[in-house]
């Protein structure tokens, strides 16, 4: 069997177009969702992410600002920036690009963001809302994107055994919370694995849906999956490749070639989950504005 490829680029494009249509509709009543990204320091990967988020916002017709602070900025300066954005009526969503320099307490900064503008969904209030199934929660963009991919690709989650490898606050844990909610893209039976899981291959082989969020190149091999599984590869890893102009290529957490011979469906890297993350961030910013209007 050769797996169906789940095309994240195409699904993300469709979601971004839906968001843009809604933004255009709101513009006729003089309202415009705004997203602010705060970037501290010069980390090149973070700068690329922030630039593409800003560009995606503008393409969707949203207001976008990027605030750049030097790597030496103090925690107090960053908190003050967050406070200013919290108070700015043109800004509905705030994201502080991680990782932050070591001298800044990330937890403290993330907790300073007004939960009503916390479009990354990392504030404990939104985490709690997600756990209890409150529909006003902001769903962290990457697992939200995975859930949308499953729904829009016609993958049935109801009653399926979903195995997630990875328990981070950004991917694994919110992914589990989304998949156990009632309704479309939910109602799954979920197992969460991590580095202390005993006999991981026997657990992953029991999956109907396998979600890899580990951060180790091509970690999930063909002997770890069973025929017919749906594989979602969240991983983005650089591996050296002298044949590429940049000297590296991107691979996921799944050995794509061998696993795609066995799986029913699989997401590629790049072009799978990656593009979904930005699309869902735009969706969350729109949600933030809509919810603010109801307050
Ligand atoms: P973290 O490093 O925060 O978490 C990795 C998880 O994998 C941990 O829970 C860890 O377990 C688990 N793990 C590590 N080694 C093993 C092992 N040998 N067996 C089983 N579990 C293991 O990573 P993130 O969740 O932030 O990211 C995961 C991947 O997803 C990365 O490649 C990242 O680049 C990518 N990513 C992609 C995004 C996108 O937009 N597509 C967005 C966010 C991340 P333990 O807790 O026990 O240490």
CA dihedral 199→201→206→212, nearest 10 degrees, is: 120
Q: How far apart are CA 88 and CA 105, in angstroms?
A: 23
Which letter does DSSP use for residue 254 in this model?
B
The two structure tokens encoding residue 42? 């010069």
294 Cα to the center of ligand 1, angstroms: 36
Q: Is the shortest distance between the CB of 142 and ligand 1 below 6 Å?
A: yes
- Residue 274 in contact with ligand 1 by CB distance below 6 A: yes
From 142, 194, 276, give the residue whose CB has the most ligand 1 atoms within 8 Å, as the site to mutate. Answer: 194
Determine the atom of ligand 1 nearest the C-alpha atom of 252. Answer: 32
**Within a 13 Å sphere around the CA of 269, how many CA atoms are in the beta-carbon half?**
23
pLDDT, one tens digit per residue, over 217-265 is 999 999 999 999 999 999 999 999 999 999 999 999 999 999 999 999 9
Return all residues near 158 (Cβ < 8 A) that are at least 6 apart: 186, 187, 188
DSSP secondary structure string, 26-82? Answer: HHTTT---EEEEEEES--HHHHHHHHHHHHHHHHTT-EEEEEEE-TT--HHHHHHHH
Domains of the chain: 31-115 (3.40.50.10860), 141-274 (3.40.50.720)
Q: Cα(first)–Cα(last) distance of the chain, in Å?
A: 52
pLDDT, tens digit (0-9, with 9 covering 90-100), for 125-141? 999 999 999 999 999 99
The CB-side HSE value for 14 (13 A sphere, CA atoms) comes to 9
**Considering only CA atoms, which residue is closest to atom 6 of ligand 1?**
166
Whole-angstrom distance, CA of residue 67 vs CA of residue 65 = 7
The HSE-up count of residue 98 (CA atoms within 13 Å, CB side) is: 10
Half-sphere exposure of 120 (CA within 13 A, CB side): 20
Please say whether the dihedral angle defined by the alpha carbons of residues 269, 275, 278 and 283, taken in this order, is positive or negative: negative
Predicted pLDDT at 272? 98
The pTM for the full model equals 0.97
* Residue of 48, 147, 149, 166 with the most ligand 1 atoms within 8 Å of its CB, for mutation: 166
Q: Is the pLDDT of residue 293 over 90?
A: no
Q: What is the pLDDT of residues 3-62, one digit of tens each?
A: 999 999 999 999 999 999 999 999 999 999 999 999 999 998 899 999 999 999 999 999
Are the C-beta atoms of residues 268 and 9 closer than 8 Å to each other?
no
- Opening angle at CA 126, ends 232 and 22, nearest 5: 75
Looking from the CA of residue 167, the nearest atom of ligand 1 is: 9
Q: What is the pLDDT of residue 294?
A: 85
Tell me the HSE value of 70 on the side-chain side, using a 13 A CA sphere.
3
């Amino acid at each position: 069997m050769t797996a169906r490829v789940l095309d994240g680029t195409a699904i993300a494009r469709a979601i971004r177009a839906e968001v843009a249509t809604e933004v255009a509709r709101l513009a006729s009543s003089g309202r415009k969702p705004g997203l602010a990204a705060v970037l501290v320091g010069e980390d090149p990967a973070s700068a690329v992410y922030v630039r593409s988020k800003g560009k995606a916002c503008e393409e969707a017709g949203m207001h976008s600002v990027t605030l750049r602070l030097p790597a030496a900025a103090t925690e107090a300066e960053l908190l003050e920036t967050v406070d200013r954005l919290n108070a700015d009526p043109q800004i509905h969503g705030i994201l502080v690009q991680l990782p932050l320099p070591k001298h800044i307490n990330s937890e403290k900064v993330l907790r300073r963001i007004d939960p009503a503008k916390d479009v990354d969904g990392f504030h404990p209030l939104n985490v709690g809302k997600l756990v209890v199934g409150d529909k006003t929660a902001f769903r962290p963009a990457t697992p939200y994107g995975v859930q949308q991919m499953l729904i829009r690709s016609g993958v049935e989650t109801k009653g399926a055994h979903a195995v997630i490898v990875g328990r981070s606050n950004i991917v694994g844990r919110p992914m589990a919370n989304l998949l156990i909610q009632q309704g479309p893209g939910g109602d799954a039976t979920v197992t969460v694995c991590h580095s202390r899981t005993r006999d991981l291959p026997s657990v992953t082989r029991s999956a109907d849906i396998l979600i890899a969020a580990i951060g180790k190149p091509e970690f999930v091999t063909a002997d770890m999956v069973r025929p017919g599984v749906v594989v979602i590869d969240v991983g983005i890893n650089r591996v050296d490749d002298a044949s590429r102009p940049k000297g590296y290529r991107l691979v996921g957490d799944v050995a794509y070639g061998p696993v795609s011979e066995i799986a029913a469906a699989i997401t590629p890297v790049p072009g799978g989950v990656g593009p979904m993350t930005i699309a869902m961030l735009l969706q969350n910013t729109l949600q933030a504005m809509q919810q603010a209007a109801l307050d």
